[in-house]
Chain A
């Protein structure tokens, strides 16, 4: 028996059924059985917001609906595009009132993330979803106005009732719960790398070399971009700036050494999420690799893992191999419009 079977069994036991087997009635939403990929941690789903087919569907609609913005022009999906693994191909995203100051973040495997935003300032998906609506640049709307718009909408009241029951008030709480449910279903683990791990597909020699560079001290990526999520869900300064303009984690902690620390991004689907870094400064993976190879700044803010050596000294072939390996982390379902 493998470990990952345990959570599956438990989830099965708690959710009490396969997806889609019981017909939905307004007070009895259909439990959604989540598939946890082999080797992934046991996910924690808040007890007061279980996944249901109706809740997820409502969340999917709200996520794509500009009704959440002040002038009905911007949806969550405007800055989190499906074909970019729910990130944005633009360096900064366009909201109702100008551009964001950071690069949009991809949305997948967030079930396993303990904190949200580049600086980790939000502790749950439910809490996170409150902010873009109110952010004057992003959606510039007021939750009380959103509530009014949803309440008098021709279809949303019925969808809220199906997801949460007819006697619960439509509003911020249920809306962010539905969005969070939708986001929790964005699980990405259908990649060449995962099939290689399972022994059902081979790496090319170049991908294999890249895997080895990544997972040894030679390129030393694995200490922060940890399998299977390819993030440690921690905060690091990877030497982008000697004097970081954006304080990153230090805005939360005020720690002197936390300046310029940002949440380690997952490298899954990295092929689809250019541009790169919190400020989208790099357009290509070549630029990112060169940053780690020879371009990063050294100071007491730089993570000790990187400060320990001046350069990686990778040759052209090795850099290319690393990129080939990174592309084995692509899940094509996250590259579809």
Chain B
């Protein structure tokens, strides 16, 4: 199963060889952004409060989303990319890009993390950012879905929390997110911004208190809570013409990093 990724990596090397060229094809850029309490994430300072009343700061937020697919109103699915790494503290891979056929798109689908069947040690290319997400084989193998870390106030100073989600003991805690949108593509350049509302991870249906949760990689109960809470963390804040301002945030570095991720879609009928 892990060979799926291998095939695509080869495909991305031959970028153009894999694409066809209809005149209504458009270019799509999907951004992943992060907010808390309605405002853009500002890392490192304790300035946020979650549903449990923990006052906290984010010092690290990295995650993997996979099987990112756009679906048309008629139910045709277009693969954008198979796996995307995002680090909220750097703009290096803020956005992923792909070419898509013209049409009316109505849903964006992705898996938060990696589907259990594919999440094996060594399945992703040996790149530093993927390697740093490794979920060691003695803990079930594969990759972390997310490493969110930070500090929170405790009576005698600051404590830390590690919201590390992943395949605890090999169980699959990845989850699918489907976000409705409206996008009519007819040539041109298009943008979708997906927003993660960080406080949602700790809010509903189950309030998550940093005081009760330590290292959670081996804690299936905590993983289950986060899997349930996480779905509501995502929404779409923009779907329309590509917003060039948004693109300007990306540094030089970005080009290199995303080059390997600019993959061409493979169309397939819904089966």
Contacts and interface: CB of A to CB of B under 8 A. Distances in A.
Contact of B136 (A222, A256, A299, A305): A222
B127 A220 contact: no
B10 A6 contact: yes
Interface stretch (A34-42, A152-160, A265-273): A34-42
Contacts of B137: 215
B138 A216 contact: yes
Nearest to B256: A44
Contact of B139 (A211, A215, A304, A307): A215
A309 interface: yes
A316 interface: no
A202 interface: no
B126 A228 contact: yes
A217 interface: yes
A146 B68 CA distance: 55
B225 to A, nearest CB: 18
A40 B125 CA distance: 9
A104 B254 CA distance: 33
B41 interface: no
B122 interface: yes
Given A6-B10, A227-B131, A308 B215 contact: yes
Given A255-B44, A304-B151, A233 B215 contact: no
Contacts of B134: 222, 226-227
A288 interface: no
A251 B214 CA distance: 32
A40 B159 CA distance: 35
A222 B137 CA distance: 11
Contact of A3 (B6, B59, B214, B218): B6
Contacts of B157: 299-300
Interface in B52-89: 59-60
A309 B214 contact: yes
Interface string B134-166: 101111000000010111000001111110000
B138 A215 contact: yes
A215 B136 CA distance: 6
B128 A112 contact: yes
B131 A257 contact: no
Dominant secondary structure at the A interface: loop
Interface string A75-111: 0000000000000000000000000000000000000
A47 interface: no
Interface residues of A, number: 37
A139 to B, nearest CB: 32
Contacts of B13: 6
Interface in A212-251: 212, 215-217, 220, 222-223, 226-229, 232-234
Nearest to B164: A223
Interface centre among A114, A215, A233 (most CB of B within 10 A): A215
Given A215-B138, A222-B136, A257-B44, A304 B160 contact: yes
A114 B253 CA distance: 12
A198 interface: no
Contacts of B239: none
B238 to A, nearest CB: 30
Nearest to A232: B132
B204 interface: no
Contacts of B139: 215-217
B9 A6 contact: yes
Contacts of B10: 6
B217 interface: yes
21 contacts: A1-B6, A39-B126, A41-B126, A41-B127, A212-B138, A215-B137, A216-B138, A222-B136, A228-B126, A229-B131, A255-B44, A256-B44, A257-B59, A300-B157, A300-B158, A302-B160, A308-B159, A308-B160, A308-B162, A308-B214, A309-B215
Given A255-B44, A308-B160, 8 more contacts: A3-B122, A3-B125, A42-B125, A112-B128, A215-B139, A229-B131, A300-B158, A308-B161
The 10 A-B pairs of least Cβ separation, nearest first, read A304-B160, A215-B136, A307-B160, A304-B149, A300-B158, A217-B215, A41-B126, A232-B132, A308-B160, A215-B138
